[in-house]
Structure 1
C-alpha cells in the first residue's frame, strides 16, 4: 500500500479516530478553537469538509495523541519507539562487533538503511503534480490556511516540510518551520539561526546566489516525524523516514527548481529566497503559551504551486500544551532514550514532561556510583544532542525513582536536595529566542538540580535508611489480597497526565 496522508486518514477512520465535520467552518480562528477543545480531551483527528472560502478540506489534530503518533510510524505502542532508538543509536556510534551475532545484527541494520533509500518517481507522474500553476496563476489563497489566535499577524503554514539543500555539497535539509503569508505569492519563513535552512541561506549569500526552497504540504505523517528528529546521524531525513517506515520515500523533481520533494504530497510550493530580502514576521501564538515578537524574516517568492486533484490541506497550530507538537515530542522522547544512554552511559532513563513544553525541563535518572556524578550527568545531557541546547532545567534522581511519576520526583526534590549544595547555575548560555523569561533575548541561564542520595564527601553524615515494607509481610498480603475483598481495587495508578505522558 502506498504511504501518504490519505492512507493514514483511512487507517484512522477504520479505527474510529477520525471525525468528519460537514458544517461550514471559518479558517479564521474557528477551526483552531474547535481543534483545541478536542486536543484538551485527547479527541479524534478532524476533517473539515466545508471550509469557508475554499473547496479544499482541512485536516487538524492528526497527531493529537501519542497513540496516533505511533500508528503513523507503523507501531502499536511506545516501547517499539525505543527499539527504533536503539537502531539509530547503533548507526550513530557503531562499535566493532565482538560476536558473530552482533555482526549479524549490525548487518541487518545496514540492510535496513539500503532499503530506506528514496525511490524516484518519473518526472510528470507524481500525484503531487497532477495540477501545475505557474506565473500569474500562482495564488497562495487557494490553500485554506488558518489563523489560530486572535492577535496573530496573519495566515500561517505550520505543518509543511521545508526543503532546501546546501549550495556547496547539495545535501538536502528537511525541517518543519512556520511560514506567514505576506501576499498572493510570497511568505516569510521563521527559522532559528542554528537550523539547516538558515545555514543554507547564509552559504547562498556568501556565494551570491538565491536559495531554492520547496514546501511540501499534506504529506505522510511519517515524514513529519522524520523531519522533527534532529539526531546527529550522517543520514538525510529521507533515510530517517525510510528507516521509520521500512521502505524508501517516493520523491520527484520540482517543476521549476532543482529540489526533490515527496511525490505523494497534497501540495508543493516552489520558490526562492534572495539573501537579505526580509519582511516583518509575527506576532504569532507559540508553544510557550504566549505571542512571540515581530522579527524580520527571509522572504520566499513562489513561482509555482503544484497539487493533487481535489487536494487535502493538513495543518496544526502551536500553543500551551497539550498540542500536537507535544504529542510528537513525547514519542520522540522514547526514540531519544537509547541514543542518550549511548552518549551518557550512567543515565538509565530520561523524561521531558509535556507541561514543561517538552524540552524546557528534563528529568534524568542515573545509577550513582561516585560523588559529583549527578552534576556530571546534567552537564553531559546538555551537550549530548543538539535539541537539548535550550533545556533550562535538569533534575537528576536515583535509578530507583520512577521519573514519569510526579509524586516520586517531587519527593526526591523535597527529601534529597539542599539548595545551597545541590543547585548549580550556568549563566549566559544560548537561550530560546521565543522564551521571554531571560533578561536578554537569546541569552540566559540553566539550572541543574542534584536530587540523588548523597555520598561522602558530598555529605559528612550518614544518610537515613529508606523505609521499605517487610518482604515477608508484603508477600503474604499479596497472596491474601482477594481474601481482603480488595481484588477489584486498582492501586498505584499514577496520574501520568500531570506530566503529559499518557494522554489518550
Structure 2
C-alpha cells in the first residue's frame, strides 16, 4: 500500500521544496496562528520549536487547490474528477493490528494542554482549540460510523468542549446516546493524510461511512487501527489519537469563537466531554488548521462541498459539468455552476437545486462550460456577455439560512441566482454565437510550439 501517513505527506512536501521550516521559537498563544495567517497561500509551515513543547507543529498544508491536487497525485484540472470518482467508487477500509500512532500511551489523569501543542488562535476566543482533529464516532443503535471535523476546546485536564451545530451528524449521534442514557464514545485523530481530512468533510447521508470515500481518494483501502479504550477505529497513519467521550447532556458555555467568514460568533453552549487516553508516535508532529477566514480552512470545506453538490446535480441535470465554491464566498456561501449547452430553464433549475442541496449557498452563478468556473475574470465576463437582468435574475427572499451566515435574520436570508448562459447572436434566446479566433488547427499548432516564437 501507499504511504497513508501525515509524516509521509510532510516528507513529500520537503522533497518538492514546498515545506518551510520555522526555526525561530514560537508561542502557541496567538503567535503561531499569526504566522499561518500572514503566510496564507505560501508554503506549508513546520514549526520546529514551540514554546513549552517538544512536539513540532505543521500548518497550512492544504492551502491551495494545486497543493491539494498534487498531494492526491493529480493536478488542479484533474482534482474535481478525482473527487467525483472517489464518491462513485468508494473503497471500504481494512483494520490492521498495530500502528506507530500507539507507540506512546498516556492514560488519565491527563493534562492535554501540557501534552499537546494546541494553539490559542484569536484575541477574544476563550481557550486553545484543536482544529484538525478528525472525530470518529458510531451510531449507538445501528453501529454505523461517522467521521467529521469539529472544533475542540481544551477546558483543563482531560476536559474538552466540542462545538457542533445541532443538525450535524455528530450531534445527532450524541443526542441519540443521551436518549439511551449513554455518553457517546469518540476518538480524535490528529495529523492525517490529506485524503482523510478531505473525506471527513464530505456531505454524506447519516450512516454513510466517510472512510469509504477516503479509500476512493487513495485508490486503496484506508488502513485503520483499533483504539485502546473505546470501540472505534482510527487511521493507522495518524500522528496522535485522543480517546474519550462527549455527553449531549453536558452543556458548556463557549463564548466568542471564530467562523469561516472571519468574524466572531456566539453560538451558545457547546457539548462537554473528556479524554481518558492519548496515544501518539514517539516523535509525533501536531497538525493545526488555522480557523476563521483562512485558505486551508475555507478550501477543505469548499472542495468537498462542490464535489458532493456536483454529483447530486449531475444525477438530475446531465448538462452540469462543474460546481466551484469560491474563495471570495468564504468556501461556503457562493458557487459557480458550469453547464454544457443548457436548455432553456435548465440554468435556473440548477441554481435552485444547488441552493436546496447545500443550505449554505446563497449566491449561485451559472455559466457555460466554455468558461472556467475557477477564473473570477471569466465568470465576470460571462455575466457581462450573457446575463440579462430582466430574465436571468432569481431572487428568493426569506429562504432558510445556515446559522453560520453572517447576515442571516431569524435564520433566513435572501438567496440569489444569476444565469449567465445567454449568448449574443441573431436575437434568438437559444442561439449560440461563435468566438472570434483563428482556425482550430492553427491554434493547436501554435500552442504546441509557442516557446519557439
TM-score normalised to structure 2 length: 0.88
Provide the C-alpha distance between the structure 2 equivalents of 1:392 and 1:251, rounded to a whole number of angstroms: 38
Provide the C-alpha distance between the structure 1 equivalents of 2:444 and 2:141, rounded to a whole number of angstroms: 69
Provide the C-alpha distance between the structure 2 equivalents of 1:265 and 1:428, rounded to a whole number of angstroms: 44
The answer for the alignment partner of 1:117 in structure 2 is: 92
**1:405-420 equivalent positions in 2, closer than 5 A:** 405-420=375-390
For residues 297-345 of structure 1, the C-alpha deviation after alignment (integer angstroms, 9 at most, x for no partner) is 1001122222221221100112324x11334356447745456423422
The answer for the alignment partner of 2:298 in structure 1 is: 326
Which of 195, 199, 202 is the matching residue for 1:226?
A: 199
Q: 1:238 to 1:416 in 2, by over 3 A?
A: closer
Q: 1:475 to 1:299 in 2, by over 3 A?
A: closer
Residue 138 of structure 1: CA displacement?
A: 4.8
Which of 245, 254, 265 is the matching residue for 1:272?
A: 245
The answer for the alignment partner of 1:217 in structure 2 is: 190
The answer for the alignment partner of 1:376 in structure 2 is: 349
Residue 215 of structure 1: CA displacement?
A: 1.0
The answer for the alignment partner of 2:65 in structure 1 is: 66
TM-score normalised to structure 1 length: 0.80
The answer for the alignment partner of 1:495 in structure 2 is: none
Residue 118 of structure 1: CA displacement?
A: 2.3
The answer for the alignment partner of 2:422 in structure 1 is: 453
The answer for the alignment partner of 1:428 in structure 2 is: 398
The answer for the alignment partner of 2:151 in structure 1 is: 178
Which of 123, 133, 157 is the matching residue for 1:160?
A: 133
Q: 1:155 to 1:466 in 2, by over 3 A?
A: same
Count matched residues.
448
Provide the C-alpha distance between the structure 2 equivalents of 1:447 and 1:188, rounded to a whole number of angstroms: 36
Contact kept in structure 2, 1:82 and 1:338, CA below 8 Å: no
Provide the C-alpha distance between the structure 2 equivalents of 1:273 and 1:308, rounded to a whole number of angstroms: 25
Give the 3-state SS of the residue equivalent to 1:79 in structure 2: coil
For residues 444-502 of structure 1, the C-alpha deviation after alignment (integer angstroms, 9 at most, x for no partner) is 231122333289xxxxx75698886666x7689969999xxxx7799xxxxxxxxxxxx
- Find the structure with the greater CA-based Rg: 1
Q: Aligned pair 1:304/2:273, yes or no? A: no
Provide the C-alpha distance between the structure 2 equivalents of 1:3 and 1:259, rounded to a whole number of angstroms: 19
**1:92-171 equivalent positions in 2, closer than 5 A:** 116-122=91-97, 125-171=98-144
Give the 3-state SS of the residue equivalent to 1:230 in structure 2: coil
Contact kept in structure 2, 1:344 and 1:381, CA below 8 Å: no
Give the 3-state SS of the residue equivalent to 2:253 in structure 1: strand
Residue 252 of structure 1: CA displacement?
A: 2.1
> Mean Cα displacement is larger for which, 174-183 or 302-311?
302-311
Which of 78, 89, 107 is the matching residue for 2:76?
A: 78
Q: 1:55 to 1:290 in 2, by over 3 A?
A: same
Residue 84 of structure 1: CA displacement?
A: 2.7
> Mean Cα displacement is larger for which, 197-206 or 429-438?
429-438
Q: 1:399 to 1:283 in 2, by over 3 A?
A: same
Contact kept in structure 2, 1:84 and 1:335, CA below 8 Å: no
Q: Which runs of 5+ in 1 are unaligned?
A: 92-108, 456-460, 491-504
Q: Which runs of 5+ in 2 are unaligned?
A: none
